[in-house]
Structure 1
Amino acid sequence: MAYDYQAVHALDGTIGAISERRANHLAVHRATAIAVVLAAPGQTAEAAGILVANGEFEARFSGPGEWLILSEVHAPETLCAELSVRLGDFAFVIDQSHGRVALTLAGPDAARILANGIAIDLHADVFPVGRAANVLCNHLSVNLARTAADSFDLVVMRSFAEALVDDLKTMARSHELSVDFATR
């Protein structure tokens, strides 16, 4: 017996189209290719040198010798294949595209909204553009990256995506926040 599977986003049916986009906006990305790269023992510096962003993907620190790679250009299969070719024996590449969800919180109050549930200093001098860290957002583990002065990307495990969106809505109660799927 053959089964026909369809890819369904973890948040399909839980967030709907919005009538107007507000100054603070949470965009849920549908087609981000995500991979984890783990440096081979003793090869961290070599792997890090190869992972310098070139416009096709973005490498974010996830831990010693570990990076989270995001790409809007590549499909999941091509991202992993490209990284495997580039990294060779310096690192191991694991596709996480179907297991994680990427979101972008942007707006003039983005840092204040996140400060309601994240226990790290988000001041631009301490957490500048390009910085990433694994943090707890309330009770959920997320990879947080500052992508612009008033914009943060959050990557969470697929099964916790709905809880994270609900938490962010609660954290933004004193700020106007719209939530929708990203258009890019």
Structure 2
Amino acid sequence: MADTALPRSPLAHVRDRLAAATHASGGAVRLAELPFLTQVNVRLDAKSAAADALGLPLEPNTAVRQGDLTTLWLGPDEWLLAGPPGNARRLEDRVRETAGDEPVSVTDVSAQRTTLLVSGSRARDLLAHGCALDLHPRAFGPGRCAQTTLGRTQVVLVARDRTDAGFWVLVRSSFAGYLTDWLLDAATEYL
């Protein structure tokens, strides 16, 4: 018999704790999981016609939002396309079709990570507790991203396209529980 169980997010067991912390902070910090975002890793020549046609950002550590798709620059020839759940196949096909005969690597990595939304008036302060990056808006403002560590956990940190939209923290599913516990502990002073 086929397994028909619905997928379970890596943080389903802490959803109530995240909501309680958000409520207790009075808007200072909002913590929530954005489970199952589509995440497609793309590697191709940044100078190719396909990179241009796909609108891939060429400036290091930038994130570009086009509709419901956010494209993150991860390296000179590597990007992460992140969007609503269930769109991996469509994105993969679009990239391959656009690349045509050009060399390209397209990999669905949606199951590899989950995404935490960290927002609120003290979001930067909270993240600064465990991140060595300069998170001041002059250095890491809207549209910036970086592969870094947060609370000793490797993450991709994304400053959303508006200051009030907060940050995405993309973390490997196996470390999501630890990082969530760390964030909740670090947020105690704002609750």
**Number of residue equivalences:** 172
Q: Match for 1:156: what amino acid?
A: V
**TM-score under structure 1 length normalisation:** 0.83
Per the alignment, residue 49 of structure 1 pairs with 52
Q: CA RMSD in A?
A: 2.1
Identical residues among aligned pairs (%): 27
1:172 has 2:174 as partner: no
Q: Give me the whole-angstrom Cα distance separating, in 2, the residues matched to 1:85 and 1:56.
A: 20
CA contact (8 A) 2:70 2:82 kept: yes
Q: Give me the whole-angstrom Cα distance separating, in 2, the residues matched to 1:153 and 1:13.
A: 20
Per the alignment, residue 127 of structure 1 pairs with 140
Greater relative contact order (CA < 8 Å, ≥ 6 in sequence): 1
1:144 to 139, 157, 171: 157
Return the structure number with greater helix share: 2
Shift of 1:108: 0.4
1:4 has 2:7 as partner: no
1:72 has 2:78 as partner: no
**3-state secondary structure, aligned to 2:147:** strand
Q: Match for 1:59: what amino acid?
A: T
Q: Match for 1:8: what amino acid?
A: R
Indicate how the Cα distance of structure 1 residues 30 and 73 shifts in structure 2: closer, same or farther if over 3 A, else same: closer
Per the alignment, residue 182 of structure 1 pairs with none
Indicate how the Cα distance of structure 1 residues 8 and 169 shifts in structure 2: closer, same or farther if over 3 A, else same: same
Q: Match for 2:133: what amino acid?
A: I
Shift of 1:76: 2.4
